[in-house]
Amino acid sequence: MTRAAAAAAADAADATAAPDTRAAVSVRALRRTFRTTGRGSGLFTGRLRGRRRDEDTGERVALRGIDLDIAPGEVHGLLGPNGAGKTTLCKILSTVLLPSSGTVHLLGHDVAARPAAVRPLIGIVFGGERGLYERLTARQNLLYWACLYGMSGRRLAERSEELLEQLGLGAHADERVERFSRGMKQRLHLARGLVHDPPVVLLDEPTAGMDPVSAHGFRDLVRALRAEGRTVLVTTHDMAEAEAVCDRVTLIDRGAVVASATPAELGAWAAESERVTARDVPPGVLTQLSALPHVTAVPPDAQGRTVLRVGEGGDAAAVVRLLLDAGVRELATSRPGLEEVYLRLIGRRGMEVAR
Partner 1 sequence: MRPPGAPRAVRDARAAAAAFRVQLLLVRRSVGDLRVLFTVPLYALIFLAIAAVSGDRSLTAYAVLAPGLIALWSMMLFAAGDLITQDRSAGRLEAVVAAPVPLFTVVAARLAAVAAVSLISLAEAWAVARWVFGLRVPLVHPMAFGVGLLATAFAMTGTATAMACAFVLSRSARIFQNSLSYPVYLLGGVLMPVSALPGWLRPASRLVFLTWSGGLLRDSLATPAVADLPGRLLALTALGLAGFAAGGWLMRRILTRVRAAGTLGLA
DSSP 8-state code for residue 94: T
Asked if 73 is part of the footprint of partner 1 (rule: CB under 8 A), the reply reads no
Strand order in the sheet with 109-110: 59-70, 25-35, 101-106, 109-110
CB 241 within 8 A of CB 230: no
Does 28 interact with partner 1 (rule: CB under 8 A)?
A: no
Return the range that interacts with partner 1 (CB under 8 A); candidates 38-46, 119-127, 296-304, 345-353.
Answer: 119-127
347 binds partner 1 (CB under 8 A): no
Q: Which is nearer to partner 1, 80 or 127 (CB)?
A: 127
Residue 179 within binding range of partner 1, rule CB under 8 A: no
Interacting positions 183-212 with partner 1 (CB under 8 A): 192, 196-199
Binding track over 146-175 against partner 1, x by CB under 8 A = -xxxxxx-----------------------
Positive or negative torsion for Cα 126, 110, 96, 68: positive
Comparison of 63 and 259: residue with beta carbon closer to partner 1? 63
Please list, in sequence order, all residues whose beta carbon lies within 8 angstroms of the beta carbon of residue 326, skipping any fewer than 6 positions away. Answer: 281, 282, 285
In terms of DSSP H, where are the helices of 76-114?
A: 86-93
Distance CA 201, CA 162 (A): 18
Round to whole Å and give the CA distance between 173 and 139: 5
CB 347, min distance to partner 1, A: 27
Question: For partner 1, which residue of 79, 106, 126, 234 counts as binding (CB under 8 A)?
Answer: 126
Residue 69 beta carbon to partner 1: minimum distance, rounded to whole angstroms: 20
Determine if residue 182 is left, alpha or beta; phi over 0 gives left, psi from -120 to 50 gives alpha, anything else beta.
alpha
Q: Which residues bind partner 1 (CB under 8 A)?
A: 32, 34-35, 91, 94-98, 116, 119-122, 124, 126, 128, 130-136, 140, 143-145, 147-152, 192, 196-199, 228-230
